[in-house]
Amino acid sequence: MDFTTLQQILLHLEDGFRLEAGRSVNRYMTVRNWLMGFYIVEFEQNGEDRAKYGAKLIRSLTDSINRPGLSFSNLKLFKQFYLAYRRIGHKAFETLSALQIGQTSG
């Protein structure tokens, strides 16, 4: 193997793995966003505190979580995303299971 071949192999590996890493991140972030919307909607529809929060739920969540990426506008978008794409639920929960991230209850 010469220097040029080594260089091309390393560049090919870098490009391929960078592309796949980006795809994985996009897939998992999509699932995360859908699941967050799912849980917000589920709480709004069935949560025992729903009467207390009403329309202020997302604002209350934003204030209590106070974490970058979980802003008021993002939480609203997660909810809208879930409402628009409810049918992808089976894929979201399959991905969640594959990650071995447990669901919380109660």
List pLDDT tens digits, range 4-54. 999 999 999 999 999 999 998 998 899 899 999 999 998 988 866 665 666
Q: Tell me the residue type at 10.
A: L
Q: Is the pLDDT of residue 2 over 60?
A: yes
Angle between helix 57-65 and 72-84 (nearest 10):
130
Number of domains, the chain: 1
Q: Is the pLDDT of residue 105 over 50?
A: no
For the segment 74-93, the average pLDDT, to the nearest whole number, is: 88
Q: Residue 59's domain spans which residues?
A: 29-99
Indicate whether 70 belongs to any domain.
Answer: yes
What are the DSSP E strand ranges found in 17-99?
Answer: none
Are the C-beta atoms of 37 and 83 separated by less than 8 Å? Answer: yes
3-state helix, strand, coil in the chain (%, to 5): 80, 0, 20
